[in-house]
Chain A
Amino acid sequence: MTSVNFKFVTFFQHTAQIRRLLLLSITAFSMSLFTVSAMAELTIEISEGYDNAIPIAIVPFGYEVQSTMTPVSSKTVASSQSPEDLAKIIAADLRRSGRFNPLSNAQLPAFPTDVDALDYEQWRALDLDNLLMGKIIDEGNGFYQIEMRFMDVLRKNQVIGKRWNHIPKSNLRQIAHQMSDLIYQELTGVRGAFNTQISYVTLRKIEGKRHYTLEVADSDGFNPQPILKSNQPIMSPSWSPDGKKLAYVSFENGRSQIFIQSLDGKYRENVAQFKGINGAPAWSPDGTKLAMTLSKDGSADIYVMELKTGNLQQLTRKYSIETEAAWAENGQSLFFNSDRRGQPQVFQVFLETGEINRVTYDGNYNANPEISPDGRYLSMVHSNSGFHIGLLDLYTNEFRVLTDTFLDESPTFSPNGEMILYAMNRNGEGQLAVVAIDGKTSQTLKVKDGEVREPAWGPYLSH
């Protein structure tokens, strides 16, 4: 049902510096009969890769049709009929990480799909260590078998060999992302986060009216699925730890209220509709509680709701603004934004004792704290003059500004903690961008026909 069209364009800046910008325009058309609006175009632009990106060969996968009569597969290699270009998806994943430099197909000396067909000597000259090859075997009835072989061409051995059976066509992209995750973990020691999802809000203006859509897409921007459409604002999606639900703010009843919705659309509940603001939902790490901002008792304060009972615990009591709670990874404290000292700064409140400490001191505006999955880093919206994403190392107290784009906000960590997805403004339009926590690689994601904002990176998908 989904046809995919990739375009690669390479730009060089006029400066002598070899700063490469690779524009990877991805077009995904939904051929669904009734939804024109499901058609979306997301573009990913990568800038500033690592200087020492590792060269890697991702060989186009072979394609075979399994005969229904005999177990011997008929070896008709016809890549044009391949239901999905897995190698292209994997190469794009690895390139986006900034750590790898996949060779172009033109640079590949051969297109082996079996270990037997691999001539190691051909690859030694390319000054690379690793090669991925494999094949898609059409089982018929819309199901496929996928085989991957990740090879060390220097040591002449297989590092990873894996086969997936009975995979429907709609899941082939996911399998490609799983392969990217396996390769990433093998070569960097860090779990890959390619096979994950992101959520965000798109804003389209049609005849002067605003149309908001809450969408969930793959981490590379593909397969965008609208899960809520409204002509009133949608804000602040927050993933449940199991990745099956989103909490978010919707103005559909004329004011901000908090809803929880399952991704399969079977469950939706308005969990906070108190007088005043209902905002900034944040799921506790164990999934049983939701931190939120309510102003029902006067001014915006931090509360924690036990989801089973609806019981509320009030954590802050100030006339100033307290909002944007983020759970510590152990669930025992919350970081939040407070302007009790005049301008927004990040504070931490401990659930057990109610003790509150100030956390940020650099800059005159530090808001929207987010904690890395390992609990080490605190990202925030930081301002001295412009608005940028700042990163505080809670172990060393070292503070850095990671981004140099315009009006940066809404930082959200990838589940492996290596990247931060955030919203920014370019040419007057809201776009998303990704930056590595070491600041060494960045990329942008945009929708062609509107603005995109309020990103939230989902957890690892369980299988």
Chain B
Amino acid sequence: MNHFKSLFTLAIVASLTACSSAPERSASDLSDEEVVSDTAPGIKGDAMNVEVLSASGGISTDGSSMDQSLDGMKMVDIAELYEPIVYFGYNQYELDDKTTELVKFYAQEMMAIPNQKVVLKGHTDERGTPEYNLALGEKRAKVVAQAMMLFGVSESRIDIVSFGEEQPAVAGSNENAWQKNRRVELIIN
């Protein structure tokens, strides 16, 4: 039930951001070209917003939009709301409740479409040494892989590759950029 509740909250928030912001990004948009580009388009209604809003109980400060968002939620395709990227804390390679939920969502999607495969691309921010970060990126991808297997996806459908700090999603040497670069991208096709 808890899981469902957080999913519910996420959906509200996501629909709010979806109303006002750019087109959504689906898994197939994550081509190599985009990964190597300076600014990752689509990382706008991002995890950080989700975190901030759900902490205040998911109540919009703009009260008038509350009903709309609930209405909107019913029509939203959840698959388009979840960005297939798992973010991590500095030097961390653990999943929290929220990222576990995200991984579970994609694992279930893969269970429904048995011929789908996933490539997990592990990344770090630029701090620390490049080779340590290469190993750290792999740790992150493996943690996501283990969670996917826990949710039923067989190992043979999962491929892992680490890019360490070599392919940041966002350029810049600041906390905001670093936060978006510590990630595992789920490339499902």
Contacts and interface: CB of A to CB of B under 8 A. Distances in A.
The judgment on whether A and B are partners is yes
Interface in B97-145: 126-132, 134-136, 138-139, 142
Nearest to B131: A280
Interface residues of A, number: 42
B126 A323 contact: no
Contacts, number: 100
Most chain B CB within a 10 A radius of its CB, from A233, A236, A254 = A233
A367 B128 contact: yes
A449 B108 CA distance: 46
A158 B128 CA distance: 51
A209 B36 contact: yes
Given A209-B36, A209-B37, A406-B173, A276 B129 contact: no
Given A209-B37, A299-B139, A321-B136, A428 B172 contact: yes
Nearest to A212: B166
B167 to A, nearest CB: 7
A249 B134 CA distance: 11
Interface in A314-346: 321, 323-324, 337, 339, 343-344
Contacts of B160: 276
A324 B131 CA distance: 7
B91 interface: yes
B38 interface: yes
Contacts of B138: 276-277, 295, 299-300
A210 interface: yes
A410 B164 CA distance: 15
A161 to B, nearest CB: 47
Nearest to A430: B126
A111 interface: no
Interface in A261-302: 276-277, 279-280, 293, 295, 299-300
**Is chain A's interface secondary structure helix, strand, loop, or mixed overall?**
strand
Given A209-B36, A293-B135, A299-B139, A409 B166 contact: no
B134 A409 contact: no
A409 B167 contact: no
A208 B38 contact: yes
A235 B131 contact: yes
Contacts of B38: 205, 208
A161 B36 CA distance: 55
A356 interface: no
B33 interface: yes
A251 interface: yes
Given A254-B161, A368-B129, A407-B173, A233 B166 contact: yes
B87 interface: no
A255 B171 CA distance: 22
A324 B166 contact: no
B127 to A, nearest CB: 6
B15 interface: no
Contacts of B139: 299, 321
B126 A407 contact: yes
Contacts of B126: 407, 425
Contact of B128 (A209, A235, A254, A387): A387
Nearest to B136: A321
Contacts of A101: none
B130 A365 contact: no
**Is chain B's interface secondary structure helix, strand, loop, or mixed overall?**
mixed
Contacts of B173: 406-407, 425, 428
The number of chain B residues touching the other chain, given as a range, is: 20 to 34
Contact of B130 (A300, A406, A410): A410
Most chain A CB within a 10 A radius of its CB, from B126, B134, B139, B172 = B134
A381 interface: yes
A194 to B, nearest CB: 28
B37 A236 contact: no
A454 B132 CA distance: 13
A321 B130 CA distance: 13
A410 B129 contact: yes
Nearest to B38: A208
A387 B127 contact: yes
A256 interface: yes
A209 B37 CA distance: 6
Interface of B: 33, 36-38, 91, 126-132, 134-136, 138-139, 142, 160-164, 166-167, 171-173
Interface of A: 205, 208-210, 231, 233, 235-236, 249, 251, 254-256, 276-277, 279-280, 293, 295, 299-300, 321, 323-324, 337, 339, 343-344, 365, 367-368, 381, 383, 387, 406-407, 409-410, 425, 428, 453-454
Given A299-B142, A323-B135, A387-B128, 12 more contacts: A209-B37, A235-B166, A251-B166, A280-B131, A293-B131, A299-B138, A339-B132, A344-B129, A381-B128, A381-B129, A407-B127, A454-B130
16 contacts: A208-B38, A231-B36, A251-B163, A254-B161, A255-B162, A276-B138, A277-B135, A279-B134, A299-B135, A299-B138, A321-B132, A321-B139, A324-B129, A381-B129, A407-B127, A453-B130
